[in-house]
Structure 1
Amino acid sequence: MSDPDLASAQGKRLLLLSEVFPPAKGGSGRWFAELYPRLQRHQIHLLVGEHPRQDEFDGRLTSVCIRRADLSMPFRGMSRISSVRRYLQLRSLVSQYVRDQGIQEIHAARPLSEGLVARLVRLTRKIPYTCFVHGEDVSVAKTSRELTVVTDWVLRGARRLIANSSFTRSLLVEEWKMPAAKVLLLNPGVDIEYFTPAEDVGSVRARLGWTGRRVLLTVGRLQTRKGQDVAIQAVSQLSKSHPELLYAIAGDGADRDRLTSLAHELHIADHVQFLGEVNDRELLDCYRGCDYFALPNRTIAGDVEGFGMVLLEAQACGRPVIAGRSGGTVDALDENVTGVLLDCRGPDALAQTLKDWLSNPEVPERMGAAARSFVVDRYSWHSLANQADVLFLDSDLSTTSLVNGRAHG
């Protein structure tokens, strides 16, 4: 637990409010868990969602004050009486914590529901808040008039907005008409000391049962916008000419049954491996043992990939990557150097890229060799934490802010 004296004279008592937090799965929660304990200039408090295995994880967070609570919000709008009551309950919880701990600023993980809670707290306690924004937060909100109105109210009340990608920043400035100086860019990062290439890839592949296979890997929730169905269809186009090709899918979700049925319908069940949820060690093995990594994402009814942290993790392990040309993935790779961006609304572009890579292995090998350097240079947590430390000190948003090596404002 942090001692207040550890924060510098310039630093603040910051409260991160996030329903999603490890060991719960979710890229944004992992981002916060990596970033906030590394901040040096501020005293950090975490008010985060409960999880059955939270005690073991929380025991490792010795540099922050952490409290777990039920932060669930079944419906994020405010048109239902039950939602209004729930928001008021959460406002009371957060307001009490702010008062007891002398919090000077709240950091909300998303506009809804954490940002709305922070907005309500500000009405009574006058505590400023910063709101993190991911592409899907604001693109999905546009599909509902109610969510649009509430999200806009939250965004306009925030002291600053932190966009997780240049795509998200563009949405906020161009579609939501937020002042450019208020919208700052801070990409997620990767633990470059943990995610490293394997010294003995053969042993890793043997543990996974991948010996003799060419493995395409996807990691993430099984949901439509992630594009696992597109990858299955692409593999079906190549299964006869490349019987060694295996598509491994790590993760679970609502689309599991549909994807399993699709693999059987296309008669390629022996070319698709559903790994389910994997632990950290198994995840590392998957990255190290695969030949290619794919996040074939596309936009579905406003649901969009905000960034794609898994792309960084794969590249840190020296793997070439394929991503959909949709949302914020453009920030997560060096196009045609560490990987490629494709139209993944259908399987043909992905199938052609895989065919090319299988026929010309020197191309993905060259990209994989460049991938590690790319993420080390731009996306180490140490570097991003230093940038965030300075960013969270900034009190004059009229000046240009330099975040992740790029000027905005």
Structure 2
Amino acid sequence: MLPTRDVARRAARLVEPGTTVVFGAAAPLGLVSPALRAAGAERVIMLTHGHEASWARLPIARDLLRRIGEHADIVTYLGAYTRARLRTQIPGAKLVRLAPGVDTGLFRPGAGGAQVRANLGLTGRPVVVCVSRLVPRKGQDMLIKAWPHVLARVPDAALLLVGGGPARKSLDRAAAVHRDSVVITGAVPWSALPAHYDAGDVFAMPCRTRLAGIDVEGLGIVYLEASATGLPVVAGSSGGAPDAVRHGETGLVVDGTEPHAIATALLTLLQDPATARTMGERGRAWIEREWTWNQVAARFATLLLDRRSGVS
């Protein structure tokens, strides 16, 4: 839905005096907020999801983002990285953290990984799993480049890439030489994702920033889902990805452009199962403590009910 005049008129007809309006995505639809203010909206809350951080870097887009922020009472952010980006165009007093949550009942240890391993012929092997859309930013290509270094030390290891996307053909070509140790499933149903996480011993998505900072990771909900599943995480250092990992505690953050650094992190966890298990347990505890949907809902309710402007 785009911020056209027709959309603004139709939305304004829904507004009653004193209404609180919530934009599920601040950009670009937040540009219609002046029309909703004129129709009687008392408060405007705008949620951001990561792409707005890229807008803050672009000459025209950042002006639009500034205009969006001018007409908001509260603009949410995912973590430290996105807050820093948004803060360049939106007053800090309006910024409030509200990140996604994780269903810890679905994403949990023992969610069906043994059956996935059996179906894919991976039973008994150390498995590094990546669950993500197959696009260059997510770093599956760098996992494959790092894989020979891993196999040199852990020859029975397997790399499980779960997801679909435009990079599938190039990843198939790159993985052909490792056909006995790299499995690419393609897209799987959402309901099957917890079991595919649970099929791994280590989760890895070494994301990297591309296109002069425009193509950047906003947070990385997959890291949180992996932690909820009890896996240690290897994350790339792109954008807000480090906000979803406690380096040295729930996982390791690496330079996603360096295959050797990626391989070193993977080997650290694959060759020390006790440390990997401890990181996974700490990750699960962290998610239960700070990232459940009940906690997210409570924070959101506070934003809806608090009549004051946001505070960072």
Aligned amino acid, residue 292 of structure 1: V
In structure 2, the CA distance between the partners of 1:245 and 1:202, relative to structure 1 (3 Å rule), is: same
Query: How far apart are 1:146 and its partner, in Å?
Result: 2.2
- After superposition, the C-alpha distances for 1:200-259 in whole angstroms (9 at most, x for unaligned) are 754452244321322111122222221111111111332344332222222222222222
Residue 130 of structure 1 aligns to which amino acid in structure 2? I
- For residues 247 and 195 of structure 2, the distance between their equivalents in structure 1, rounded to whole angstroms, comes to 25
Answer whether contact 1:107 1:130 (CA < 8 A) is retained: yes
Shift of 1:293: 0.6
Counterpart of 1:280 in structure 2 is 190
Aligned position for 2:79: 165
Q: Which digits, 9 at most, give the CA deviation of each residue in 1:164-193, with x for residues without a partner?
A: 1121112122x22x2221101112111112
- Provide the rounded CA distance (Å) in 2 between the counterparts of 1:250 and 1:257: 14
Give the secondary-structure state (helix, strand or coil) at the position aligned to 2:28.
helix
Summarize deviations over 1:90-144 as a string: whole Å, max 9, x none. Answer: 2233233446xx8812222323232224x2533642424211123332224523x
> What is the TM-score normalised by the length of structure 2?
0.90
* AA of the residue aligned to 2:8: R
Give the counterpart of 1:315 among 227, 233, 250: 227
Q: Which of 203, 215, 218 does residue 293 from structure 1 map onto?
A: 203
2:127 alignment partner in structure 1: 215
- Tell whether 2:284 aligns with 1:397: no
- Aligned-residue Cα RMSD (Å) equals 2.3
Distance 1:249 1:208 in 2: 12
User: Is 1:254 the equivalent of 2:171?
Assistant: no
Which amino acid in the other structure matches residue 312 of structure 1?
L
Contact kept in structure 2, 1:212 and 1:244, CA below 8 Å: no
Unaligned runs of 5+ in 1: 1-70, 74-85, 402-407
Q: 1:109 aligns with which of 13, 18, 24?
A: 24
1:129 aligns with 2:36: no
Local SS of the residue matching 2:27: helix
8 Å Cα contact 1:223/1:255 also seen in 2: yes
Q: Which whole-Å deviations, capped at 9, do the CAs of 1:322-342 have from their partners, x for residues lacking one?
A: 111221222212221111111
8 Å Cα contact 2:216/2:239 also seen in 1: yes
Aligned length: 309
Residue 2 of structure 2 corresponds to residue 88 of structure 1 = no
1:276-320 deviations in whole A, cap 9, x for unaligned?
221133211111111111121111122211111111111111111
Normalised to the residue count of structure 1, the TM-score between the two structures is 0.70
> Would the alpha carbon gap of residues 95 and 397 (structure 1) be closer, same or farther in structure 2, given more than 3 Å must change?
closer
Equivalent residue number for residue 268 of structure 1: 178
Residues 75, 94 of structure 2: 8 Å contact kept: yes
Structure 2: gaps spanning 5 or more residues? none
Provide closer, same or farther for how the CA distance between residues 97 and 326 of structure 1 changes in structure 2, counting only shifts above 3 A: same
Distance 1:92 1:213, change over 3 A: farther
In 2, Cα distance between the equivalents of 1:114 and 1:252? 28
Does 1 or 2 have the higher relative contact order (CA < 8 Å, sep 6+)? 2
The runs of at least 4 consecutive aligned structure 1 residues that moved more than 6 Å come to none
- Identical positions, percent: 31
Secondary structure in 1 matching 2:4: helix
Q: 1:103 to 1:239 in 2, by over 3 A?
A: farther
CA distance in 1, matches of 2:132, 2:226: 12
Tell me the SS of whatever aligns to 2:96: strand
Task: Please identify, of 105-114 and 366-375, the stretch whose mean Cα deviation from structure 2 is larger.
Answer: 105-114
Instruction: Tell me: CA distance 1:103–1:248, structure 2 relative to 1, closer, same or farther (3 Å).
Output: farther
Which among 317, 338, 350 is matched to residue 250 of structure 2? Answer: 338
For residues 308 and 344 of structure 1, the distance between their equivalents in structure 2, rounded to whole angstroms, comes to 14
